[in-house]
A and B are shown apart, each in its own frame.
Chain A
Amino acid sequence: MNWLRILSAGMLTTVQDLGRFGWAHHGVSASGAADPLALRAGNLLVGNAENAAALEMTLVGAEFAFEQDAIIALTGSDFGAGLPLWRPVEIAARQSLRCGASQSGARAYLCIRGGIAAPKSMGSASVHVMTGVGGRPLRKGDVLAVGNDAVRRPRSAANFPQRWQPRTLLRATPGPQAAWFAGELFGADYCVAEESNRMGLRLRGPSIPSPAGQMITEGVALGAVQVPPDGQPIVLFVEHQTTGGYPKPANVISADFWKLGQLRPRDTVRFESVTIEQALDLLREQEEWLYSL
């Protein structure tokens, strides 16, 4: 058996795959990688199925020791590990890998050929940090088994398309209560607040008049922008509540979910309104890029 040891855990390092689906009606949201594009690309690059479990690091990375030879890919943001990103890299047995503070966005992923062999809870290895479903964040001294789930040869390097940047431009389709708003969300600058987490990204900026209090609680989708009575929008994120009673003028598009995972406190974001058709075209473009890896 091949092992990976955590020498230091960084700020928040967790095991993630693409999430736990089919449990929202039991009150459990999907969780999963905050930047699913980086996780999928990293897995494809090392020859895994795209849903293999990998490690998600947040703002300050972790340090790892490898028991045996390994093939890894670092994707997402640059955490100063001194290795090329977005390509498979061979690591020799007993070598260590040290990630530091992020030099770009909020998250980096360490994908390892074979996947992390973490126990699954409700069909997923993803840690739901706020509830403890799926386990807990990693600590110094934890030892993780490397799985045997590679499905093809490692690939060559990927070029992350620069035209998809910047992470701070969020495209959004109309939300269920869009008609209750006058488009105040679009065109204004909003700052990502420190108290943002995997449940939600709290934004600070021009107050939006919220007709809260007229709604019957309803289901909420990933990326929904909800406006509570204080007028400061919250973007619901991977560990979001499954239902909510605040009106939602907009919903971030699937093709921009990766940006939500890369936003860091004090980033200034802007929203741009798009149609569902445009959103699906942008998603197709992203899927084509993944297929090309």
Chain B
Amino acid sequence: MTVSAASDRSLLVSFGAAISPEAQRQVTRLTHALDGVRGILNLHPAFVSVLIDFDPRLRTHAEVEALVRRTGSAGGLAAGESKTEPTRLVEIPVVYGGAGGPDLEDVARHAHLSPDEVVALHSSAEYEVAFVGFSTCFPYLSGLPGALATPRLTAPRKHVPAGSVAIGGAQAGVYPLASPGGWRLIGRTPLRLFDPAGEPPALLRMGDRVHFVRVAEAGF
């Protein structure tokens, strides 16, 4: 674990230089352990790191670092885990290919598979929400079958519709809002992943397990 100042009001805690299930566990644990602690304003978990924003009037960098290191010790670990929310299983219906999945053929070609085989693989895997982030409420999913890993587009699309089910490198994801984006779009879900009136507005939370379920048609 390395801890460094990212700004005059934040620390970046990193659990290694490579994406791994162990790093993901550490990220989840630290995020849950520090959620709601006085003086900690925001937690930004990612693949192997957590950015911690704090109120510099209430906490110093050294105090927050000490808090982080205590959380990593045996005593803090138990306290952290007791705050972990139970994992949920969320099923996401997907219409694969067609207008909502313009890159399905490209992903199939890249994987030397047929589009149907891509869909079968994608919808049989179990994913886990590694973290929720990016521009707004974007769930980064780990668990994509290795054969389906596909490089991002060299030029991002200006408009990706909300609900687009996508592959970016070795990660899977779903666009909760219409936005620009460079991931490969293989289908689209009618499920609403973002509700501005919801608390939280994101349907998916860090640690949720996710299944994609193929459906024939959905009213978008």
Q: Which residues of A contact B (CB under 8 A)?
A: 21-30, 121-122, 130-134, 173-176, 199, 216-224, 241-244, 248, 251-254, 276, 279-280, 283, 287
> Within 8 Å CB of A221, what residues of B?
6-7, 9-10, 44, 51, 53
> Within 8 Å CB of B42, what residues of A?
21-25, 29-30
- Closest Cβ of chain B to A135, distance in Å, is 9
Residue of A122, A216, A248, A252 with highest tally of chain B CB at under 10 A: A216
Q: Are B41 and A219 in contact (CB under 8 A)?
A: no
7 further contact pairs, Cβ within 8 A, besides A121-B199, A131-B177, A276-B8: A24-B53, A27-B137, A121-B196, A122-B201, A173-B7, A222-B7, A242-B133
Interface residues of B in 25-76 (CB under 8 A from A): 31, 35-36, 41-51, 53, 56-57, 61
Q: How many residues of B contact A (CB 8 A)?
A: 50
> Within 8 Å CB of A132, what residues of B?
196
> Within 8 Å CB of A222, what residues of B?
7, 9, 53
Residue of B48, B51, B140 with highest tally of chain A CB at under 10 A: B51
Q: Residues 66-109 of chain B: 1 if any A CB is under 8 Å from the residue's CB, otherwise 0?
A: 00000000000000000000000000000000000000000000
Q: Are B205 and A254 in contact (CB under 8 A)?
A: no
Q: Residues 1-21 of chain B: 1 if any A CB is under 8 Å from the residue's CB, otherwise 0?
A: 000111111101010010100
Q: Give the nearest-CB partner of A21 in chain B.
A: B41
Bound-state Cα–Cα, A166 to B56, Å: 24
> Within 8 Å CB of B44, what residues of A?
24-25, 218-221, 242-243
Taking the complex as formed, is B136 at the interface, i.e. its CB lies under 8 A from any CB of chain A? yes
Q: Are A279 and B8 in contact (CB under 8 A)?
A: yes
Bound-state Cα–Cα, A287 to B57, Å: 9
Bound-state Cα–Cα, A134 to B136, Å: 14
Q: Are B7 and A22 in contact (CB under 8 A)?
A: no
- Closest Cβ of chain A to B173, distance in Å, is 11
- 8 A-B contacts, Cβ less than 8 Å apart? A27-B202, A216-B47, A218-B44, A218-B48, A220-B51, A224-B7, A242-B44, A244-B134
Known contacts A219-B50, A223-B7, A30 near B196 by CB under 8 Å: no
Q: Which 4 A-B pairs have the closest CB atoms?
A: A219-B44, A219-B51, A243-B133, A27-B137
Quick one: which of A25, A175, A219, A241 contacts B35, CB cutoff 8 A?
A25
Q: Are B137 and A28 in contact (CB under 8 A)?
A: yes
> Within 8 Å CB of B17, what residues of A?
216
Taking the complex as formed, is B206 at the interface, i.e. its CB lies under 8 A from any CB of chain A? yes
Q: Are B51 and A280 in contact (CB under 8 A)?
A: no
Bound-state Cα–Cα, A22 to B40, Å: 8
Q: Are B51 and A23 in contact (CB under 8 A)?
A: no
Q: Are A241 and B41 in contact (CB under 8 A)?
A: no
Bound-state Cα–Cα, A216 to B12, Å: 13
Bound-state Cα–Cα, A22 to B31, Å: 11
Taking the complex as formed, is B197 at the interface, i.e. its CB lies under 8 A from any CB of chain A? yes
Taking the complex as formed, is B132 at the interface, i.e. its CB lies under 8 A from any CB of chain A? yes
Bound-state Cα–Cα, A29 to B137, Å: 10
Known contacts A23-B200, A216-B46, A276-B8, A283 near B41 by CB under 8 Å: no
Bound-state Cα–Cα, A42 to B15, Å: 43
Q: Are B45 and A217 in contact (CB under 8 A)?
A: no
Q: Residues 195-219 of chain B: 1 if any A CB is under 8 Å from the residue's CB, otherwise 0?
A: 0110111100110000000000000
Known contacts A242-B133, A254-B56, A26 near B205 by CB under 8 Å: yes
- Closest Cβ of chain A to B14, distance in Å, is 8
Q: Are B200 and A26 in contact (CB under 8 A)?
A: yes
Taking the complex as formed, is B131 at the interface, i.e. its CB lies under 8 A from any CB of chain A? yes
> Within 8 Å CB of B200, what residues of A?
23, 26, 28, 122
> Within 8 Å CB of B177, what residues of A?
131
